[in-house]
Every structure is written in C-alpha cells, then in structure tokens.
C-alpha cells in the first residue's frame, strides 16, 4: 500500500504533463524564469518542442504569448517588432504582455491583488476586492456618507451588499466602481448627471448601483469632469453627464442623465480600453486604433487642430503608420499612448515639458518619445502637466512640472520643470507595478504590495496623517491591511 502512494519527483513526470502545468496560465513570467534557473527539468532539452526554443519553459512562454488576448490581436508585423524589441526572448514578451494588462487593471502582488487610482484631491485603493479611500471628501466622492468630508488615512468603503470591486476611477467630485459581477456603482456630486442617476437633488454620499446598466456587465469605467464613460464586457462604450463640448460622443451637445451607448463606436467594433480627460475621451479598439471625441482644446484629440469632435474620430497618425496602440492616458492638457512594442507617444500642450521631448512645444498629433525607445514601456499615465512611464523592469520615468514634488525628484524645486524622461532613483530599489497621479500627488504600488506616495498631502490625499507633503516617495501603511486575517 505504501508503494502505491510513493512520492514522485518532478523529474519523473512526463514532459507533456510538465508542459501542461507550465502553460496553465497560473504562472507569470517571473515564475517561469525561476523554474528554468532552478531545475534541469524545465531548462533542459526535451523532444516535445521544436529545436528553435531554448527550453521547455521557453516553449511554454511562447504558448502563453500566442494565447494572450493582447498578442493574438496584433498583426504579424507588430508581433515581429515586439519579438525583436525583446531580443527574441519569449519570457520577456510574456512579462511585457502581463505587465501591460495588470498596470491598467488589478496588479498581482505578494500581498494580494491591488489597484491604485488618484483623483484630484483623493486616492482610492483596491486590495483583494475591498476598497479604501483617503483625501478630500466633498460631495461624497470618498463614499463614506454625508458626514465625512475628509479621511486622513485609507478608510474602507462599505457597499450596500457583498461586492467584489475590480476597478475604480475618480475625477474631481465623483467616483465609479466596477464589480466582479459587472455591475457599476457611483458616488459623489450628481448635479451634472455624471453618476448616472436621474436624482440630482443631493450628492450621492455612498456608492449606489447604476440601475440603467443592469444587464450590461461592465469591465472598466473612466471618470471625466462632470461626465463618466463606461466600457462593457462586449466592448461597447456608454456615457452620461455633461455634454456641452460633445464629450459624450453622441453627435450632439445634449446632456444625458443615464448611460447611453455611443453608437458609432458600437458599429466600428470592440473597444478594449477607455480614458477620460476633463472634457474629452480616448478609446482604443481591439485592432489597435485610437478614437477621440469631445473638446479639442490643447490638441488633446490628436487630429492636428483644436476643433471639437461630437462623435468618435480615428487618430490618423496611428492608422497611417500602422501603429498598434494598447493603452492611452488622457491628461488635463495632453495625452500619452503606449504601443504594442512598448514605445510611447505624446501629444497636446507641451507646457513644463509634459510631453517629454526636451522642450515646451505643443504637439498637434502623436509623436514618438525617442528618448525612451531603448526601454520597453508597460504603462503610461498623464495628468496635470506631468507624465509617468513605467517600464518592464519596474523602473519609473517622470517628466513635466514638479508641482509640489509630485514628480518625485527631491533634488528639484517644487515648481521646476523636467523636460525629458528621468528615472525616479528613489524607487529604483523597488519593482513598481502600477502608478497613478492626481493634480499634485502621485501614488505607486510595487510587486510586493508596498504603496509609495509623494507630492502634496494638504488634503490627506497621500493617506499620511502627519505630513503636509512628500518631496520623494514615502511608504504609505494601510492599517486594515496589516491586521491578522482572523481579526478581519
């Protein structure tokens, strides 16, 4: 009987079974690297895979890449360019794909799944499906009830029922939350209908279900200034709120009290990512095209002029050059995009060096950021006159206006300009997985689940009780996350 349950070493398992385990999608690129380095079984030669692959792990990484939703939508030319940029290493390609996916979604850290999002004067944190907020809570944006106008530390938000939050977006005075079920909750100032509820008589101080989207499961929300954009799992875009500049994309300037589908985008195809500026929207489709609509001021729409667009219009620069865009970030006065080979493009108002080209000249259409071309970018983040770029090794580059130290360079004055991308040396000892920046503050999450904040803390938007500001990244501790599981 004892022989029947004899322990079996990994070396005794058939190669096809090992390959199946490696390709189960439960391992990330770093896991594969560690396995390859620590065991001959994973790094050695097997007859199971073609000779062009260096190891069984390399072959497994290849299979994971070709099955990945981002890679499978890329044209052959884009796939080849990414392959060349990664030095022909499938594990690095896999790391790039997984990092891009996580940086705009939930990040897998050793402390659990996390996401950080900054609003104007507040910050939201998702940790293992629970949501915390801190900062200024005027109009109920923090979601803690009418009596709460400020939270000096990260405080958990209570939802009407057991709800697992997978994404959050916040603007000046309202916030929106996407649940694992696809339901969307909103809170804050609804006087402009931006929360998607017809009742505008008073602020919504606690998260409330957007009933108009029942039956339309969503995967992402983007909060603009007095309007909100919703992305359904089917790839359709819905908008509601103020529409004076055509930012809702319906071809008119009529405000919408509840979410309405943007019909033109519905006809074009499936949208995979959205980003909202103060009065404009950027939408990325599954074939890598970018559409923009709303206010054309500061050249943020990327069409070469400052005319507004009441309906989605494709950005021709990307289409003409066959650039497959993966992610976009709509800042206050400029925008930034990440393509499928890890290159970065910026356009809009160049004031204070926010575009990163070494000057303050406006760019009317997207322009490649040459100084970062040797790096593989996985996330881009734009806000008020500043930009951050996260690269695949976990380093962060920042440029633009220092504004209260929110770029994280302690050797520069609070009103200095950084005209070209510069690495944040103070975070070099950490592997950053996600970064988000507000008006005057910035917060980052590492792969170990550590949270670092820098910039203005006058309204407690960094979650520190005792400091008014941080000129360099300072770790933020969330007390609830430190409690033993039995206490929770």
What is the pLDDT, as a whole number, of residue 483?
A: 43
Q: Say whether pLDDT at 292 is over 50.
A: yes
pLDDT grade for 56, boundaries at 50, 70 and 90: confident
Residue 31 pLDDT > 80: no
pLDDT at 24: 65
Q: In this structure, are 170 and 62 located in the same domain? A: no
Q: Do residue 139 and residue 270 come from a single domain?
A: yes
Evaluate whether residue 2 is within a structural domain: no
Q: What is the mean pLDDT of the chain?
A: 90
Q: How far apart are CA 313 and CA 416, in angstroms?
A: 36
> Do 198 and 66 have their domain in common?
no
Predicted pLDDT at 262:
98
On whether residue 460 sits in a domain, the answer given is yes
Domain assignment of residue 50, given as a range: 11-103
Is residue 488 situated within a structural domain? Answer: no
76, 103, 130 — which closes off a domain?
103
Residues constituting the chain: 488
Q: What is the largest CA-CA distance in the chain?
A: 80
CB atoms closer than 10 angstroms to residue 112? 15
Per the structure, how many domains does the chain have?
2
CB 254 within 8 Å of CB 308: no
The span from the CA of 398 to the CA of 353, in Å, is 10
CATH number reported for the structural domain that contains residue 430 in this entry = 2.130.10.30
Looking at 103, 118, 152, which one is the last position of a domain?
A: 103
Q: 320 and 217 in one domain?
A: yes
Do 281 and 363 lie in one domain? The reply is: yes
Q: Is the pLDDT of residue 487 over 60?
A: no
Tokens, residue 290: 């970018």
pLDDT band at 58 (very low <50, low <70, confident <90, very high): confident
pLDDT of residue 347: 98
Q: How confident is the model at residue 39 (pLDDT cuts 50, 70, 90)?
A: low
Q: What is the pLDDT of residues 375-404, one digit of tens each?
A: 999 999 999 999 999 999 999 999 999 989
CA angle 473, 477, 482 (to 5 degrees): 150
Q: What percent of the chain has pLDDT over 70?
A: 89
Average pLDDT over residues 261-271: 96
Q: Does residue 117 lie in a domain region?
A: yes
Query: Does 132 map to a domain?
Result: yes
pLDDT in tens, 81-120: 999 999 999 999 999 999 999 998 899 998 899 999 999 9
Least confident of 40-44, 96-100, 131-135, 282-286: 40-44
Residue 12 has pLDDT above 60, yes or no: no
Show Cβ contacts of residue 443 under 8 Å, excluding neighbours closer than 6 positions.
116, 118, 123, 435, 436, 437, 451, 452, 453, 462, 476
pLDDT tens figures, 321-360: 999 999 999 999 999 999 999 999 999 999 999 999 999 9
Bridge partner list, 39: none
Alpha carbon distance 65, 78 (integer Å): 13
Span 183-194, pLDDT tens digits? 999 999 999 999
**pLDDT of res. 53:** 75
Reply yes or no on whether the pLDDT at 369 is more than 90. yes
Pair 62, 170 in one domain: no
Residue 152 lies in a domain: yes
Q: Which of 245, 267, 241, 265 is nearest to 255 (CA)?
A: 241
pLDDT, tens only, 405-425:
999 998 887 779 999 999 999
Name the least confident of 14-23, 65-74, 429-438.
14-23
pLDDT at 1 > cutoff 50: no
96 and 203 share one domain: no
The backbone torsions φ and ψ at residue 60, rounded to the nearest 5 degrees and listed phi first, read -65, -40
The dihedral formed by the CA atoms of 480, 481, 483 and 487, expressed in degrees to the nearest 10: 70
Contact between 434 and 116 (Cβ < 8 Å): yes
Q: What percent of the chain has pLDDT over 90?
A: 78
Structural contact between residues 436 and 452, judged by C-beta atoms closer than 8 angstroms: no
Tokens encoding 427: 């975070």
DSSP collapsed to 3 states, the chain: CCHHHCCCCHHHCCHHHHHHHHCCCCCCHHHHHHHHHHCHHHHCCCCCCCCCCCCHHHHHHHHHHHHCHHHHCCCHHHHHHHHHHCCCCHHHHHHHHHHHHHHCCCEEECCEEEEEEECCCEEEEEECCEEEEEEECHHHCCCCCCCCCEEEEEEECCCCCCCCEEEEEECCCEEEEEECCCCEEEEECCCCCCCCCCCCCCCEEEEEECHHHCCCCEEEEEECCCEEEEEECCCCEEEEECCCCCCCCCCCCCCEEEEEECHHHHHHCCEEEEEECCCEEEEEECCCCEEEEECCHHHCCCCCCCCCEEEEEECHHHHHCCCCEEEEEECCCEEEEEECCCCEEEEECCHHHCCCCCCCCCEEEEEECHHHCCCCEEEEEEECCEEEEEECCCCEEEEEECCCCCCCCCCCCCCCEEEEEEECHHHCCCCEEEEEECCCEEEEEECCCCEEEEEECCCCCCCCCCCCEEEEEEEECCHHHHCCCCCC
Do residues 364 and 221 both lie within one domain? yes
Q: Which residue has the higher pLDDT, 251 or 23?
A: 251
CA pair distance 437, 388, nearest whole angstrom: 8
Residues 91 and 175 in one domain: no
Mean per-residue pLDDT for 164-181? Answer: 95
Asked whether residue 6 is assigned to any structural domain, the reply reads: no
Q: What is the CA radius of gyration of the chain?
A: 23
| 64 and 169 belong to one structural domain | no
Q: Specify whether 433 is located in the same domain as 288.
A: yes
Give the distance from CA 324 to its chain's centroid. Answer: 18
Q: Which of 158-162, 225-229, 330-334 has the lowest mean pLDDT?
A: 158-162
Residue 431: name the closest of 447, 444, 442, 443 by CA: 447
Q: Which residue has the higher pLDDT, 414 or 236?
A: 236
Higher-confidence position of 13 and 348: 348
pLDDT of residue 20: 63
What was the pLDDT predicted at 50? 54
Whether residues 47 and 130 share a domain: the answer is no
Higher pLDDT, 51 or 384: 384
Query: How confident is the model at residue 442, as a pLDDT?
Result: 97
Which candidate, 131, 116, 137, places its Cα nearest to that of 460? Answer: 137
Q: Last residue of some domain: 86, 103, 120?
A: 103
- pLDDT of 150 higher than 80: yes
The reported pLDDT for the residue numbered 14 is 56
| Residue 127 is assigned to a structural domain of this protein | yes
Rounded to 10°, the helix 56-67/29-38 angle is 170
Statement: residue 482 has pLDDT above 60: no
**Beta-carbon neighbour count of residue 319 at 10 Å?**
14
Range in 245-249, 371-375, 471-475 the model is least confident about? 471-475
Tokens encoding 90:
């499938």
The reported pLDDT for the residue numbered 11 is: 55
Report which listed range, 130-134, 199-203, 468-472, is most confident: 130-134
Q: What is the mean pLDDT of residues 262-267?
A: 96
């Amino acid at each position: 009987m004892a022989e029947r349950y004899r322990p079996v070493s990994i070396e005794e398992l058939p190669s096809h079974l090992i390959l199946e385990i490696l390709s189960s999608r439960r391992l990330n690129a770093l896991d594969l690297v560690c396995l390859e380095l620590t065991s001959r079984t994973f790094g050695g030669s097997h007859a199971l895979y073609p000779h062009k692959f260096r190891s069984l792990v390399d072959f497994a990484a290849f299979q994971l890449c070709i099955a990945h939703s981002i890679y499978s939508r890329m044209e052959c030319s884009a796939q080849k360019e990414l392959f060349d940029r990664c030095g022909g290493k499938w594990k690095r390609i896999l790391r790039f794909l997984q990092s891009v996916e996580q940086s705009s979604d939930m990040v897998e850290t050793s402390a659990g799944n996390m996401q950080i999002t900054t609003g104007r004067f507040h910050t939201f944190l998702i940790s293992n499906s629970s949501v915390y907020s801190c900062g200024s809570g005027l109009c109920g944006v923090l979601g803690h009830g009418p009596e709460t106008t400020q939270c000096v530390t990260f405080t958990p938000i209570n939802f009407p029922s057991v709800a697992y939050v997978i994404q959050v977006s916040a603007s000046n005075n309202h916030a929106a939350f996407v649940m694992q079920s696809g339901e969307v909750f909103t809170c804050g100032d609804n006087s402009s209908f931006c929360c998607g509820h017809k009742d505008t008589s008073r602020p919504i101080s606690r998260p409330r279900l957007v009933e108009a989207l029942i039956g339309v499961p969503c995967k992402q929300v983007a909060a603009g200034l007095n309007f909100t954009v919703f992305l359904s799992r089917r790839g359709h875009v819905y908008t509601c709120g103020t529409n004076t500049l055509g930012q809702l994309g319906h071809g008119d300037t009529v405000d919408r009290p509840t979410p309405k589908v943007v019909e033109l985008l519905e006809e074009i195809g499936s949208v995979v990512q959205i980003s909202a500026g103060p009065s404009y929207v950027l939408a990325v489709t599954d074939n890598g095209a970018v559409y923009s609509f709303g206010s054309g001021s500061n050249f943020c729409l990327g069409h070469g002029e400052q005319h507004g667009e009441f309906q989605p219009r494709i950005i021709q620069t990307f289409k003409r050059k066959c650039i497959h865009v993966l992610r976009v970030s709509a800042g206050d006065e400029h925008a930034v995009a990440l393509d499928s080979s890890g290159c970065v493009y910026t356009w809009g108002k160049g004031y204070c060096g926010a575009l990163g080209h070494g000057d303050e000249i406006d760019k009317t259409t997207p322009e490649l950021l040459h100084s970062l071309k040797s790096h593989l970018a996985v996330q881009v983040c734009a806000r008020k006159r500043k930009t951050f770029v996260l690269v695949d090794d976990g380093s962060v580059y920042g440029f633009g206006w220092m504004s209260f130290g929110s770029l994280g360079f302690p050797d520069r004055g609070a009103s200095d300009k950084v005209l070209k991308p510069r690495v944040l040396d103070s975070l070099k000892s950490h592997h950053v997985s996600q970064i988000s920046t507000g008006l005057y503050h910035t917060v980052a999450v590492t792969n170990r689940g550590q949270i670092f904040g820098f910039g203005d803390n006058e309204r407690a938007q960094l979650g520190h009780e005792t400091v008014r500001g941080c000129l360099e990244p300072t770790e933020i501790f969330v007390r609830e996350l430190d409690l033993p599981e039995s206490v929770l």
